[in-house]
Chain A
Amino acid sequence: MLELKGITKSYGANTVLENTGLVIEDGSFVCIVGGSGSGKSTILNILSLFDTVTSGDYYIDGNNVATEKNKHHLYRKSLFGFVFQSFYLLEDLSVRDNLTLPLLYVKDNGVSDMEIDEIINGFGLTSVAEMPVKTLSGGEMQRVAFVRAIINNPKYIFCDEPTGNLDSANADIIFKFLCGENQKGKTIVMVTHDTALIERAKTQGAVIYGIEERNIVRLP
């Protein structure tokens, strides 16, 4: 379970979140919505340990990680997976190298080369597996990013506008992938301002949160 408790986040004099909180249950599908500059990406950055809170507590499975900055990378590599709007791939490297990047930082990852081949095949990336990522289409890149996010079998998957750069067909594929992972028991935390995507998420039982007056609020 992820729990933000009484957190405040400020950038200089600009306070984005003030004494607010959020609880994300294991296995849930959570959407955080809002317009540009509302603070939704700030929440995702805090949840994914890319950024720290100015004050307050952040509990991951009961451990307050707000005070354990030197252990943040351990949570990122063992519990978290990420899917971003801009893919965030290493474009000079091949698809296979990008997919297996998280495994480089985990000694006993338990993923064999055969399993990696199966995953690549399962996501229709076999024909491009050895090609540099920069030669792929946007849809293929997002699939690579998605596989990279799940290859380490993370408990939580964070998505920042995951379908923002995709056409409707590819957006549909990625959304189905996310729903599939959620059904397997993984927690999905997605930030988006795409209303169509929010509506689709609702049909999957997603819990929707928004930001009002620097507070995280649950939306109907």
Chain B
Amino acid sequence: MGLKKEISFAFRRLRHIFKVIFANKLRAALTLAGISVCVLVLTVSVLRMDSSFQKLRLQFSFMPQNTAILRGDINPEEFSYFRSAFAGIGAVTYKKAPDYTLQTNNDQRIRTHVLGVDNNFLKTYILDLSINTGVYSSTLTSGRLFSENELAGMESAVIINDSVAFYLYGNDNPLGKSILLSAENGEIKSYVIIGTIKDSYDSASSYVSYLDGKKEEYDINIYTTEKNIVTTSNSYGYALLFVSDMSLSLLEERVADYLPSSSVSVYSYADIKDAVEENHSMFVREFVSLIVIIVVCEMISLSIFMIFAIKERVGEIGIRKAIGASDNEIAVQFVTEYAVLGGIGTVIGCLVGFFINLIMLMSGASYGFSFVNVTIVPVLLIALFSITIVTFLSLIPALIARHVKIINALRFV
């Protein structure tokens, strides 16, 4: 019976607190907005980081364990020699490929990047250590890889990405059709499309944003076997990925023999993984620092707002004390009010943040995020963190309210 009375009494007080909170709608809305926005920023940020880590882990799970990497400035002529001497050379990534112009059927001219590659390039992986840290693979979606004749430069063929194919031919089959590419020197040449590959992160993102036809330039990738395109590049390849059973020490010897004037280091799969993870972690640390600063600023603003709200309610505190509320009951009331507001604001912030992240993941399916699982655990941790922090912050205004003297407070009514 005693417990029932206690529960009934606590419920009566809680119901009163809800009434007090929503009696002043502007104050409640401002507090809720402050808390919700703060939690929203935190939720989206943490979920994006979680997605990014998941993506990286998955990419590495697809990468062969016997992959090695040569990293550094590579002399292009030595590279050609080195490449011809060893089977198993994988991908080359470029800081910049030469500008070409793609002439479309309706005589549009689109500036594009044309990469000179071989089949190994398309079979293996591209390591990107920039802000979009990750390992990207080229997946053939239709057609075939290059034939012996095409690799030897006797026939001109291209493999294009899905977005380019869709732009040029819609839902028609692009295979067997020809495109015209004009080089910087004005030479125009016809190339037969032999295959299409899945959009890579960069090409797809650039292409999709320009698909409405409002922009004239396209940053899309077309792959050919034209060796001169590689050698006339005005930038050097900076990473070579090997899928090879050679030991690292043997690979280092070969590099020293074949790339004497290049400044190249050899790394193992584990090294690559560590380097990428370190790179990624560094980015995440900077990102987290930024988020922490934003959250701390938000929290300081919130606590200032809470303190001013108490100053505005001094008269109310005086009335409550006059009719018998103890100092502790006043403090508990304000802590409970902010805990309730914190709870509601947290739920709103977490839900909106969760769905924003979900929409970002869904809309970013072509950018390689489609395989990321949406996890609920980080959201629950954020909710717990948020409610704890708001309740903790409410101790400051609660203590101020506790020490208000009735005789002074009633002058503010």
Contacts and interface: CB of A to CB of B under 8 A. Distances in A.
Contacts of A152: 324
B11 to A, nearest CB: 12
B324 A73 contact: yes
B19 A77 contact: no
A202 B322 CA distance: 28
Given A97-B16, A101-B320, A104-B12, A92 B410 contact: no
B322 A76 contact: yes
B324 A108 contact: no
Interface residues of A, number: 30
Interface in B4-21: 5-6, 9, 12-13, 16, 19-20
Interface in A100-124: 101-102, 104-108
A51 B19 CA distance: 30
A138 B80 CA distance: 96
A77 B319 CA distance: 12
Contacts of B20: 90, 92-93
A45 interface: yes
A38 interface: no
Contact of B323 (A92, A93, A101, A107): A101
A105 B323 contact: yes
B274 interface: no
Given A45-B407, A92-B23, A76 B324 contact: yes
Contacts of A77: 323-325
B292 interface: no
B321 interface: yes
B316 interface: yes
B24 interface: yes
A78 B325 CA distance: 11
A90 B312 CA distance: 13
A6 interface: no
B23 A102 contact: no
A148 interface: yes
Contacts of A92: 20, 23-24
Contacts of B406: 50-51
A90 B410 contact: no
A86 interface: yes
B201 to A, nearest CB: 54
A78 B413 CA distance: 23
A102 B19 contact: no
B329 interface: yes
Contacts of B326: 73-74, 105
Interface string A143-169: 000001000100000000000000000
Contacts of B413: 86, 88
A17 B323 CA distance: 25
Contacts of B325: 73, 77, 104-105
A90 B326 CA distance: 18
Nearest to B321: A73
Contacts of B13: 104
A94 B15 CA distance: 13
A51 B318 CA distance: 12
A78 B323 contact: no
A29 to B, nearest CB: 22
Given A76-B323, A92-B23, 15 more contacts: A48-B322, A51-B406, A73-B324, A73-B326, A76-B322, A80-B324, A82-B322, A82-B323, A88-B319, A104-B325, A105-B323, A105-B329, A107-B9, A148-B323, A152-B324
15 contacts: A50-B322, A50-B410, A73-B321, A73-B325, A76-B324, A77-B325, A78-B324, A80-B324, A88-B413, A92-B20, A101-B319, A105-B329, A106-B324, A107-B5, A152-B324
